[in-house]
Amino acid sequence: MSDRDEPAAADRATVAERAARAGARVAHDRFRTGVAVEAKGEDDVVTEADRAAQRTVIETLRETFPDDAVVGEEEKERKTVPEAGPAWVIDPIDGTHNYVRDLRTWATAVAAVVDGEPVAAATVCPALGDVYTADENGAYRNGTPITVNDVADPRRAAVDPTIWWAFDDREAYARACEAIVTRFGDMRRFGAAQAVLPMVAAGGLEATITNLQPNPWDTVAGVFMVRQAGGRVTDLEGNRWRHDSTGLVASNGTLHEEVLAAARSIERRDG
């Protein structure tokens, strides 16, 4: 990064939080108001609240960083993270299925990346009253530092199977559930990866797993929070997770090998 960019880099955590809060306010104002639901695909839905919140997030980002690339779930924003330069990865409502069912577990997530690596993040869960942030120094919930927990006994661990398996791949979903309930003390499924990853960062869950290749807007902010809270995030091979990795295994670190084995077992094995 050039010297000219250094002062801006120091502002990215502040701007990420400001943008996430602004987008979350728009979404929350429409929550439980009967917004129309549109099918975005066989297994996905979208609402005008998603679009309005994304527009607000982008407008807020543009006030300070007018030239940065934006990766966003909705509308015509780019869908891949650039490998060079600064960019923002945003999800206006992660957990739209929860949102349209009037369930509170959904989030507005904003991550700043530079050369493909996250450097700041904010995830606002307005219906739950929680704001998660992460910067170069650590991770926080409502301004208080958070860390992953130190649970080392799998029988005491709760693990979330995250990201949605399509209807034509429910065998993999079943294997994910089996992998968790046969190895760990309990399973939770909240239906919003950007809400779940901060739960791992704050110690409420020991891990979350998927064998799928998740979208960057579903993951980048939360992955940064887990790492800044002392956790570990890898792909299915155990390599450091990137925005284009296959699989996502996020844990408190202490249980990572057991959690990684569970994630690997989701894959179909012949013989």
Please give the average per-residue pLDDT across 110-120, as a whole number: 97
CA distance 198 to 217: 14
CA distance 177 to 243: 24
pTM of the model: 0.93
> So what's the pLDDT on residue 167?
82
Q: Per the structure block, which two tokens stand in for 39?
A: 């099918």
CA distance 110 to 108: 7
> So what's the pLDDT on residue 119?
96
> So what's the pLDDT on residue 268?
61
For the ranges 30-44, 46-60, 112-126, 176-190, the lowest mean pLDDT is seen at 30-44
Residue 205 phi/psi, 5° resolution? -125, 155
> So what's the pLDDT on residue 10?
53
**Residue (of 193, 202, 260) closest to 229 by Cα position:** 202
How do residues 250-268 score in pLDDT, each as one tens digit? 999 999 999 999 999 998 6
Mean pLDDT, rounded, of the chain: 92
Q: Per the structure block, which two tokens stand in for 263?
A: 């994630």
How do residues 222-239 score in pLDDT, each as one tens digit? 999 999 999 999 999 999
> So what's the pLDDT on residue 153?
98
Please give the average per-residue pLDDT across 49-58, as a whole number: 95
Confidence band (pLDDT; 50, 70, 90) for 44?
Answer: confident
> So what's the pLDDT on residue 2?
43
Confidence band (pLDDT; 50, 70, 90) for 73?
Answer: confident
For the ranges 54-63, 75-84, 169-178, the lowest mean pLDDT is seen at 75-84
Q: What number of other Cβ atoms are within 10 A of residue 102's Cβ?
A: 11
Please give the average per-residue pLDDT across 145-150, as a whole number: 98
> So what's the pLDDT on residue 7?
40
- Reduce the secondary structure of the chain to three states and give it as a string: CCHHHHHHHHHHHHHHHHHHHHHHHHHHHHCCCCCCEEEEECCEEEEHHHHHHHHHHHHHHHHHCCCCEEEECCCCCECCCCCCCEEEEEEEEECHHHHHCCCCCCEEEEEEEECCEEEEEEEEECCCCEEEEEECCEEEECCEEECCCCCCCHHHCEEEECCCCCHHHHHHHHHHHHHHHCCCCEECCCCCHHHHHHHHHCCCCCEEEECCCCCHHHCHHHHHHHHHCCCEEECCCCCECCCCCCCEEEECCCCHHHHHHHHHCCCCCCC
232-234 and 248-251 as β-strands: parallel, antiparallel, unpaired?
antiparallel
